[in-house]
Structure 1
Amino acid sequence: MTILDKIVAFKKKEVAKIKAEVPVKKLVESPNFKKAQFSLKEGLITKFSTGIIAEFKRQSPSKGIINNDVSVLEVTKGYLDAGVAAQSILTDTSFFGGSMTDLMEARTINQQTPILRKDFVVDGFQIVEAKAIGADAILLIATCLSKKEIKDYGQLASDLGLEVLYEVHTQEDLDKISDLDGKIIGINNRNLKTFEVDLEHSIDLANQIPDSAVKVSESGISDPRIITGLKEYGFQGFLIGENFMKTDNPGLACHEFISQIR
């Protein structure tokens, strides 16, 4: 059983438990459910956008604890001051040390930039939940979903006014997504089955994605020069977490990184 298999199996049990305790009606009545959404897509393609989706991540299965000393509020403020295009917040608790509270806290001061809920979506309930906690976009990981699930979850998100970052790692993953036109497609350079990172994945799959889609490169980006290279292959978004979070001041690290790509 791979790390991803373990995460997905655990996540299904976890979501089933939450569904039994929290009625959808309660989620729909949340104040955040009525707020206007910020567009992740627009945030990435607008003129002068940095393209940086800066992530708040305390830990990971491959690295263990990355940073347990900074608060989501101080990191969010730092990222916003740095001029990020969007913010990503991991809400998985068991494997990444995050929580839905992290996203809700970030939303209290982030009133200008889209927030991506980063989690392993295995049930439509989580998409309704994402809107209720204040997210603007969700992540759908093709590796752990069927073609039908990807389509159905994508439609549900759209119906709720949420955008979707469709994450792929292989051509097989990409083939699961029907009609790439206009979608936000993230190529994860990290193999979720082994957690090994290879930046060539972004380049290898880039040509299989139409220019009408917004291309995002995820994981393993640690040098501003990598951004320059990826832009030549049509990438407009760059999801970076560990590179900032491993420092004492993630916001400052993000600011210094962005200053070198402008």
Structure 2
Amino acid sequence: MVADTLVYHPTVTKLITFIDSTPKREKSFRLLAYLSRFLAFYAERKGYSLETIKLFANLKQHFTFIRKGLRFLKPLNHLQAASKFYDNKLLDPVLQSTSIISNLGYAGYLTLDSITWFKMLGIIDTKKFPTVSKWASRFWLLALLAGIVNSLHIITSLTSQKSSTKDEDEKVDTKAIESKLYKAKRKLVWHLLDSFICLNTLDILHFTEGDIGLAGIITSVMGLKDLWESTP
């Protein structure tokens, strides 16, 4: 009876559905990679043994390697999304252009990231394309900057729309606007934190591995939360 209760429990069923998806697994490994990165820094700062520090550093490398494999061919998703945004002539011009740039940026980033994965696999000589990681990060930053502009435009538009809504009959609309405003602000914070990571990767900022790891943990949890809520 206890086993049946666990097996058929709605949360267990949802968890099984959740992990039976490549994007959700990839995001889970992202969280583990950044958590390992943070713990490696923390262990070193607190004077833990070299073996413990190496353990977390190696875990980070392994989780990152798995993530890259799970993201193989993902650029196609973003190319298709960019095409759909381009064809949507009814969309706000700023939202349309930023969405196209963002998806093209992610497509470029993930394509170059696949080359890094091939190098890790030994399919491509590690001495070839020495700047591929740098260019991948530049494309990622381009996508994030486009996302920031997109979020700021949505926030500005919704704030203006909210201030012009005063009638009692429009209370329902106000609640809908507030919900959209919250999502846009949350997305902005998400993009800013990922930009912080990317800027450190490009050596534009010079924060610690712990700071980068913590930022990655936060955005990973945000992404997993969205995916969990969308799981039936």
TM range, smaller chain: under 0.3
Greater RCO (CA < 8 Å, at least 6 residues apart) = 2
TM-score by length of 2: 0.26
Bigger strand share: 1
TM-score (norm 1): 0.24
